Structure 1
Amino acid sequence: MSLIVSLMLFFSNIKSAEVLPGLIQKGKASFYSKKFNGRKTYYGERVSSDALEGAHLHLPLNTLVEVTNLDNQRSVIVRINDRGPFSKGRVIDLTHAAANALGMVSKGIANVSLRVVGKGRAIALSPSAFSAPIAFQSMLEPVL
């Protein structure tokens, strides 16, 4: 019993990812197959291949994450709205629009870095603002 209480006290002092802007993770990214378009996410939303959204195993719903393709340095900000990926070695699953913005559609998988930039909905709900992702590169800080 005391072990459980000790663990609870230990983990209660750890801040969640939503209050740790700048948290960085590196790994492989993949993107949703077209067959998932319209299906429900873990949180009950519908997957839209046109939205800038993604799935992460641990980040909370509505966390905004800057994803940078380490091969070409292209970046996009996505909103976490699903759980996953469930393939070993992958850190994020992206919608087709986000994968296209990163220039990874032809390869299917890319080496990426993730940086938490905040919490919200506004950026991810307007994918038309990112129709020319290269034009917005100057607004995003590179992840080193």
Structure 2
Amino acid sequence: MKKVIAPILLLFVFIFFASSFTSEKIHADFTSKKPQQDTLSVDTLSSAIKYRPYKRGVHASYYHDKFNGRKTASGKRFDNSKLTAAHKKLPFGTKVRVTNPVNKKSVIVTITDRGPFTRGREIDLTKKAFTEITHAKGRGFLDVDLEIVKD
């Protein structure tokens, strides 16, 4: 009789300790986790996206408000409140990360137009994109680094 009770008693002790350990661990996991956010931060997105360097130290400017509502070279309507840009050679739909090396702020824009047609300028940004990365609010141009977003 003692030979039968000892293994059963050990089994009960094992189950008791195992269940109490897992329930404490599960409780600790549920209470220590922070609620998940519905949106991803820019830092999270930029760490998940791959970039290919394109050009450094190029001259960027922004569109004038008079172009709002006009058709771009790609056929889409221009909107200064969106994150788009004009470039002379990059294909339409190309996503480009534009970084201001002075303050390290960057923005991802989509190429939807051709230009700029002013000598020495590489890219025209919408006013929204430009104001997100600028360090001097009074200027309409700045030098930026361009990187192509890889798919």
User: What band does the TM-score fall into relative to the shorter chain?
Assistant: 0.5 to 0.7
**In structure 2, what residue type is equivalent to 1:37?**
N
Deviation at 1:44, TM superposition (A): 1.1
Q: Is the CA contact 1:52–1:79 (under 8 Å) kept in the aligned structure 2?
A: yes
Separation in 1, partners of 2:143, 2:115: 17
Aligned length: 99
1:25-71 residue CA offsets vs partner (Å, 9 max, x unmatched): 13100000000111110111111011000001110011000001122
Deviating above 3 A after TM superposition, structure 1's stretches of 4 or more consecutive aligned residues are none
Root-mean-square deviation (CA, aligned residues, Å) is: 1.4
1:90 aligns to 2:138 (yes or no): no
1:109 aligns to 2:144 (yes or no): no
Residues 7-46 of structure 1: matches in 2 within 5 Å?
A: 22-26=52-56, 27-46=58-77
Separation in 2, partners of 1:118, 1:48: 25
Q: Is the CA contact 1:96–1:105 (under 8 Å) kept in the aligned structure 2?
A: no
Instruction: In structure 1, list runs of 5 or more residues that go unmatched.
Output: 1-20, 120-144
1:77 aligns to 2:108 (yes or no): yes
Q: Which has the larger radius of gyration?
A: 2
Q: Is the CA contact 1:71–1:110 (under 8 Å) kept in the aligned structure 2?
A: no
**In structure 1, what residue type is equivalent to 2:113?**
D
Higher alpha-carbon deviation: 27-36 or 66-75: 66-75
State the SS of the aligned residue for 2:131: helix
State the SS of the aligned residue for 2:96: strand
State the SS of the aligned residue for 2:122: strand
1:55-104 residue CA offsets vs partner (Å, 9 max, x unmatched): 01110011000001122221000000000111111110000110111125
* Aligned sequence identity (%): 44
Separation in 1, partners of 2:109, 2:55: 15
Separation in 2, partners of 1:35, 1:22: 33
TM-score by length of 2: 0.62
State the SS of the aligned residue for 2:150: strand
More helix by share: 2
